[in-house]
Every structure is written in structure tokens, then in C-alpha cells.
Amino acid sequence: MGVLLQHFILDELRRVLPRLASRRGLTLPQMNDLADVLAILAERIEPSDGQDAALSDANDPPVLGTLLTARAREEVSYLITGDKDLLPLAERYPIVTPVAFLAMYVGWVGDSQPSLTSSENFPGSPATA
């Protein structure tokens, strides 16, 4: 399993990451590097219809559709997002926050920086949508 994305998600990341840079203790160039790495490493897929009655943001169905498509292909474990409209759907879909994901799979808790270079930090190599 690997990272699965669609073009909309990459565009959304590039739009949202600059706002998050200072809150996460990263510089804007570091955030841009993150988006670039994801663009290079991720497999791009076409999402299914991600309509859900609980979604109120018109930008969220493509994101949920990416998760549903990837799950149908049995190639994804989680949707990793901080989107406040998508997180409540975690009761029905495997959706986790970035911090929860890092805590589960990298052992990162709090302000310490995770080590992303050791394969032992990625049991089962969970994927993202």
C-alpha cells in the first residue's frame, strides 16, 4: 500500500498548507516541499462519487470519493485529514487526523519530531487517500 491522491487533494493541500505553516512550526518552503514530495510519491486516482448527506462543503465529496475508490481497490487504510467537515464522518469511514496518524504509526506524540526515516516506524505501511 502507498499514498493515493487525486489532483483536487493536491490542489487543496497547496492552498491550505501556507495557512498551517506557522501553526505547525514549519516554514512555507518546508510546507511546499511536503506538497512536492506527495505529488511525486503518490499514485493519482480518479475518485468515485463521494456524496454523503453529512457533507456540507462542496469541496469535500471529491476527497471522500478518493477514500471510497481507494478502499474499493483495497489499497488504503485511512483518509488523513484535518478538515473539520470530514472528521465527523470518522464514525462511518476510516478517517484520522494527521496527529492521530503520526501517533499510531510513527510514535509521535506532542511537540517532539517523529523520525520518518526508520522502517520500524511504519508497521503495515498504512496508506492515505
CA 77 to chain centre: 11
User: Band of the pLDDT at 126, cuts 50, 70, 90?
Assistant: very low
User: Which residue, 9, 43, 13, is CA-closest to 31?
Assistant: 13
Q: Is the pTM here over 0.75, yes or no?
A: no
Predicted local distance difference test score (pLDDT) of residue 88: 92
Element (H, E) at 43: strand 43-44
pLDDT of residue 87: 92
pLDDT above 60 for 125: no
Query: To which residue does cell 462542496 refer?
Result: 58
pLDDT at 109: 53
Q: Which three cell numbers stand for residue 95?
A: 478517517
Return all residues near 13 (Cβ < 8 A) that are at least 6 apart: 34, 35, 38
**What is the tens place of the pLDDT at every residue in 95-124?**
988 778 777 776 655 555 444 333 333 333
Amino acid in the structure at residue 91 = E
Mean pLDDT, residues 18-41 taken together? 80
Under a CB-based contact definition with an 8 Å cutoff, are residues 106 and 116 in contact?
yes
Condensed to tens digits (0 to 9), the pLDDT of residues 73-98 reads 877 778 888 888 999 999 999 998 87
Evaluate if residue 29 carries a pLDDT over 80. yes
pLDDT in tens, 32-67: 888 888 888 888 888 787 788 888 888 888 889 888
